Amino acid sequence: MQELIPFDSELHNEMAIDTCVDNFSDAVLKALAASTPKRRPRDHPRPPVPAGIQEEIRLKNRLRRQWQITRDPALKAEVNRLQRSVTRRLKESRNDQWSPTLESLYPEVQSLWRMTKRVLRVPTPSPPRHSRRNLFFRL
Protein backbone atom coordinates (compact mmCIF):
# COMPACT_ATOMS: atom_id res chain seq x y z
CA MET A 1 0.00 0.00 0.00
CA GLN A 2 2.91 2.36 0.59
CA GLU A 3 3.63 2.47 -3.14
CA LEU A 4 0.00 3.36 -3.86
CA ILE A 5 -0.20 6.26 -1.40
CA PRO A 6 1.63 9.40 -2.50
CA PHE A 7 2.19 11.22 0.78
CA ASP A 8 2.82 14.95 0.80
CA SER A 9 3.77 16.29 4.23
CA GLU A 10 2.70 19.79 3.17
CA LEU A 11 -0.97 19.70 4.20
CA HIS A 12 -1.63 23.38 4.74
CA ASN A 13 -5.11 23.77 3.28
CA GLU A 14 -8.39 21.90 2.97
CA MET A 15 -7.83 21.03 -0.69
CA ALA A 16 -4.50 19.34 0.04
CA ILE A 17 -6.07 17.37 2.90
CA ASP A 18 -9.00 16.30 0.70
CA THR A 19 -6.61 15.18 -2.03
CA CYS A 20 -4.59 13.17 0.50
CA VAL A 21 -7.77 11.58 1.89
CA ASP A 22 -8.94 10.70 -1.63
CA ASN A 23 -5.56 9.15 -2.49
CA PHE A 24 -5.54 7.15 0.72
CA SER A 25 -9.13 5.96 0.19
CA ASP A 26 -8.34 4.95 -3.41
CA ALA A 27 -5.32 2.99 -2.22
CA VAL A 28 -7.36 1.19 0.45
CA LEU A 29 -10.10 0.34 -2.06
CA LYS A 30 -7.51 -0.95 -4.59
CA ALA A 31 -5.86 -3.06 -1.90
CA LEU A 32 -9.25 -4.41 -0.87
CA ALA A 33 -10.14 -5.27 -4.47
CA ALA A 34 -6.78 -6.97 -4.98
CA SER A 35 -7.12 -9.06 -1.82
CA THR A 36 -10.78 -10.05 -2.29
CA PRO A 37 -11.54 -13.12 -4.41
CA LYS A 38 -13.70 -12.45 -7.44
CA ARG A 39 -17.27 -13.74 -7.26
CA ARG A 40 -18.20 -16.35 -9.78
CA PRO A 41 -21.58 -16.09 -11.46
CA ARG A 42 -24.14 -18.62 -10.29
CA ASP A 43 -24.16 -21.93 -12.11
CA HIS A 44 -27.94 -21.86 -12.20
CA PRO A 45 -29.71 -18.54 -11.70
CA ARG A 46 -32.68 -18.54 -9.37
CA PRO A 47 -35.83 -19.56 -11.26
CA PRO A 48 -38.36 -16.81 -11.87
CA VAL A 49 -41.33 -16.36 -9.55
CA PRO A 50 -44.55 -17.59 -11.22
CA ALA A 51 -46.86 -14.85 -12.52
CA GLY A 52 -49.71 -15.73 -10.14
CA ILE A 53 -47.46 -15.33 -7.11
CA GLN A 54 -46.05 -12.04 -8.46
CA GLU A 55 -49.60 -10.69 -8.79
CA GLU A 56 -50.34 -11.70 -5.19
CA ILE A 57 -47.12 -10.01 -4.00
CA ARG A 58 -48.10 -6.79 -5.82
CA LEU A 59 -51.57 -6.89 -4.23
CA LYS A 60 -50.06 -7.46 -0.78
CA ASN A 61 -47.63 -4.55 -1.25
CA ARG A 62 -50.41 -2.25 -2.49
CA LEU A 63 -52.59 -3.14 0.52
CA ARG A 64 -49.64 -2.70 2.89
CA ARG A 65 -49.05 0.83 1.54
CA GLN A 66 -52.75 1.61 2.04
CA TRP A 67 -52.63 0.21 5.58
CA GLN A 68 -49.53 2.35 6.37
CA ILE A 69 -51.57 5.44 5.46
CA THR A 70 -54.92 4.50 7.01
CA ARG A 71 -53.94 2.06 9.81
CA ASP A 72 -57.19 0.20 9.12
CA PRO A 73 -57.15 -3.10 11.11
CA ALA A 74 -59.08 -4.90 8.35
CA LEU A 75 -56.38 -3.97 5.82
CA LYS A 76 -53.66 -5.17 8.20
CA ALA A 77 -55.44 -8.50 8.62
CA GLU A 78 -55.66 -8.88 4.84
CA VAL A 79 -51.96 -7.98 4.44
CA ASN A 80 -51.02 -10.62 7.04
CA ARG A 81 -53.21 -13.23 5.32
CA LEU A 82 -51.65 -12.45 1.94
CA GLN A 83 -48.14 -12.62 3.43
CA ARG A 84 -48.81 -16.13 4.76
CA SER A 85 -50.32 -17.13 1.42
CA VAL A 86 -47.37 -15.76 -0.59
CA THR A 87 -44.87 -17.49 1.69
CA ARG A 88 -46.71 -20.82 1.42
CA ARG A 89 -47.08 -20.57 -2.37
CA LEU A 90 -43.40 -19.65 -2.83
CA LYS A 91 -42.32 -22.67 -0.76
CA GLU A 92 -44.61 -24.94 -2.78
CA SER A 93 -43.31 -23.49 -6.05
CA ARG A 94 -39.68 -23.99 -5.04
CA ASN A 95 -40.41 -27.54 -3.91
CA ASP A 96 -42.16 -28.25 -7.23
CA GLN A 97 -39.13 -26.93 -9.10
CA TRP A 98 -36.72 -29.04 -7.01
CA SER A 99 -38.63 -32.30 -7.27
CA PRO A 100 -37.58 -33.21 -10.84
CA THR A 101 -33.97 -32.30 -10.05
CA LEU A 102 -33.91 -34.49 -6.94
CA GLU A 103 -35.60 -37.38 -8.74
CA SER A 104 -32.96 -37.26 -11.48
CA LEU A 105 -30.06 -37.82 -9.07
CA TYR A 106 -28.41 -41.26 -8.91
CA PRO A 107 -25.86 -42.25 -6.26
CA GLU A 108 -24.20 -44.64 -8.74
CA VAL A 109 -23.02 -41.83 -11.05
CA GLN A 110 -22.12 -39.44 -8.20
CA SER A 111 -24.68 -36.85 -9.30
CA LEU A 112 -26.11 -36.89 -5.78
CA TRP A 113 -22.67 -36.07 -4.34
CA ARG A 114 -22.07 -33.24 -6.83
CA MET A 115 -25.47 -31.72 -6.10
CA THR A 116 -24.85 -31.97 -2.34
CA LYS A 117 -21.54 -30.13 -2.72
CA ARG A 118 -23.17 -27.44 -4.86
CA VAL A 119 -26.04 -26.92 -2.42
CA LEU A 120 -23.81 -26.86 0.66
CA ARG A 121 -21.28 -24.43 -0.83
CA VAL A 122 -21.29 -21.35 1.39
CA PRO A 123 -20.79 -18.09 -0.50
CA THR A 124 -18.15 -15.73 0.80
CA PRO A 125 -19.70 -12.56 2.21
CA SER A 126 -19.05 -9.29 0.42
CA PRO A 127 -17.38 -6.50 2.37
CA PRO A 128 -19.62 -3.54 3.19
CA ARG A 129 -19.52 -0.67 0.72
CA HIS A 130 -18.48 2.72 2.03
CA SER A 131 -17.95 6.09 0.48
CA ARG A 132 -14.36 7.23 0.25
CA ARG A 133 -14.61 9.79 3.02
CA ASN A 134 -16.43 7.38 5.37
CA LEU A 135 -13.84 4.70 4.67
CA PHE A 136 -11.02 7.02 5.72
CA PHE A 137 -12.63 8.01 8.99
CA ARG A 138 -13.58 4.44 9.92
CA LEU A 139 -9.97 3.25 9.65
**Chunked in runs of 10, what are the mean pLDDT values of the chain (139 residues)?**
62 80 82 76 75 96 96 96 97 90 82 83 71 53
What was the pLDDT predicted at 35? 79
DSSP-based three-state secondary structure for 36: coil
The predicted structure's pLDDT at residue 49: 92
HSE (side-chain half, CA atoms, 13 Å) at 130: 16
pLDDT for res 132: 55
At position 109, the amino acid (one-letter code) is: V
